[in-house]
Amino acid sequence: MRVDRSAFADGPWSDEPDAYWWTDANSKMPCLVARHPFLGSWRGFVGVSTEHPLHGIAHDRCARPGCNHANQTICEEWFPLALLDAHGGIGFACARGFYIDVPESLGTGGEWWFGFGAHEPDLQPGKTFEFRQARMRYPFPGAGDYRTLSFMRHECGRLAAQLEKLALEWRKVAVP
Ligand SMILES: [Zn+2]
């Protein structure tokens, strides 16, 4: 997971690694923070085990038990992205091997990962002048704050706590 930093200026990211992972002490859920390969901003991921009610459910699909999807408006309230809150919103969900590089030592391999990221308007150190010239529709970096590893670690912990609470409360959900 090496990131080419040759286009980055110096900043808070200079002293940070390109990936950091741990097991959340409270929920025991594996957490991963990985730097975007060219934007340079962080993305955060929390993995849930196969027993978790949201395991295998895409971030923008209905998780409601027994739902027949007859009422799409209700379904949207049951999307993982609506049930969970993390910086910038839950952007995707996937198994190991898709989209993210999960270290072999992290988790059991069967986890389903929910991810979020420090995207616009956050500062992304890989958005150089040349990058901006090619993509003028993006605002310049610096409009927002750089979200540090420390910030993202905290967000992962907050997401893990939500996922744990949701699993504990799931049995109370009325099946239609
Ligand atoms: Zn539904």
| Ligand 1 geometric centre to CA of 171 (Å) | 17
| Ligand 1 geometric centre to CA of 63 (Å) | 7
| Ligand 1 geometric centre to CA of 31 (Å) | 28
| Ligand 1 geometric centre to CA of 59 (Å) | 13
Residue 1: the pLDDT is: 60
Residues 138 and 120: beta-carbon distance below 8 Å: yes
| Ligand 1 geometric centre to CA of 83 (Å) | 13
| Ligand 1 geometric centre to CA of 60 (Å) | 11
pLDDT along the chain (176 residues), means of 10: 83 94 97 92 97 96 91 90 97 86 91 94 79 55 82 98 95 62
| Ligand 1 geometric centre to CA of 98 (Å) | 25
| Ligand 1 geometric centre to CA of 55 (Å) | 16
Residues 87 and 147: beta-carbon distance below 8 Å: yes
| Ligand 1 geometric centre to CA of 69 (Å) | 4
Whether a cis peptide bond, with omega within 30° of 0, leads into 121 is yes
Residue 168: the pLDDT is: 92
CA dihedral 35, 38, 39, 41 (to 10 degrees): 10
What is the value of pTM for the model shown?
Answer: 0.90
Burial track 21-52 (b if 16+ CB lie within 10 A, e otherwise): beebeebebbbbbbbbeebbbbbbbbbbeeeb
Residue 130: the pLDDT is: 59
| Ligand 1 geometric centre to CA of 84 (Å) | 16
Distances in Å between the Cα of 30 and the Cα atoms of 24, 59, 60, 76, 162 are: 6, 18, 22, 27, 14
